[in-house]
A = this chain, B = another copy of it.
Amino acid sequence: MAEHYLSGERVHQCWDNSLSPLLTIDPGDTVVLETRDASNGHLTPYSTLSDYQNRPTGKGHPLTGPIAIRGAEPGDTLVVEILELKHKGWGWTGFRPGFGLLADEFPESYFTIWRLERDMGSFRPDIRLPLAPFCGVMGVAPHEPGTFPTIAPAAHGGNMDIRHLTQGSTLFLPVFVPGALFSVGDGHAAQGDGEVCGTGIEAPLVVTLRFHLRPQEHLPEPQFFTPTLLSPRAQAQGFYVTTGYHSDLMECTRKAIRYMIEHLVRHHNLSREEAYILCSTAVDLKISEVVDAPHWIVSAYLPQSIFV
């Protein structure tokens, strides 16, 4: 049961099952590792909108790994215990043209820096968000040979952006190649279910993971266990909720977020851009019903406790 360390000095920016592992471990071993932020270190706590607009793009998320787990074989399940996630005191959120749920309605780039204290984050003095760090990307090498972008998640995991993969959670991933070849990155200090503007609180993290195998236990796609959904503090003042009905779930989602942005602008004195950022980092999307044909409902939940 060794403990290993893997720095963020070497990263890979695509999925490719022919990549050589940086580290090979035994089942039961723990790895403490560093993940770069999604900008690959280009942005800092002092960055501006101009820095955000001028950063290099086009390459994928910088991922720490691959880590090979001895004995892992296709058809096994890789068990990843998420033991600890630590931020480094800052993060950023931004959106850019052509990306995000409401790309057509936000044609200009926007960018903000978050100051992160121990377990709270802020980008305006009147907003304090409870932090719940997780890695947006966790995955194993895909089954198919070749080079794949990191942006879209798939059966091997990858850029899942599931906000409840927090400390204390356990992720189950199907194994497709010998050794599994696990990689991780895209740390978020907080994010709402949906990540609607395309980014959470993007942050470099220090991550502690422990790995196990479940031989010959096949999963079709990633599954996980999470111990808690909401802290008592996050629930403390209830939730304001907007709803959107439509015959298409994506359109339901757009309506619910549009109404939430209007609500935040009107009642909480935010700009439309700040409201969109807050929807992406703090508002949770739930599918309220998918059976009352022809109209489904998606609802957007805003925790009232974030307003100081």
Chain A residues at the B interface, C-beta cutoff of 8 Å: 99-101, 151-155, 159-164, 193-198, 220-230, 235, 238-245, 249-250, 253, 255, 259, 263, 284-299, 301
Contact = CB atoms under 8 A, between A and B. Distances in A.
B287 A286 contact: yes
A151 B246 CA distance: 13
Say how many copies of this protein the assembly contains. 2
A245 B292 contact: no
Nearest to A289: B161
A194 B288 contact: yes
A296 B198 CA distance: 12
Given A221-B244, A288-B163, A152 B293 contact: yes
Given A152-B295, A285-B287, A287-B287, A243 B223 contact: yes
A284 B285 contact: no
Given A99-B291, A151-B293, A297-B161, A286 B242 contact: no
Given A152-B292, A288-B193, A292-B152, A226 B241 contact: yes
Per CB-CB distance, the 6 closest pairs between chain A and chain B, nearest first, are: A249-B249, A161-B289, A285-B287, A152-B295, A227-B238, A162-B288
A94 to B, nearest CB: 13
B196 A291 contact: yes
A241 B196 contact: no
Given A164-B301, A195-B290, A229-B235, 6 more contacts: A153-B245, A161-B291, A221-B244, A221-B259, A225-B238, A285-B286
A196 B222 CA distance: 21
8 contacts: A153-B292, A160-B289, A162-B289, A194-B287, A197-B291, A222-B243, A224-B241, A226-B241
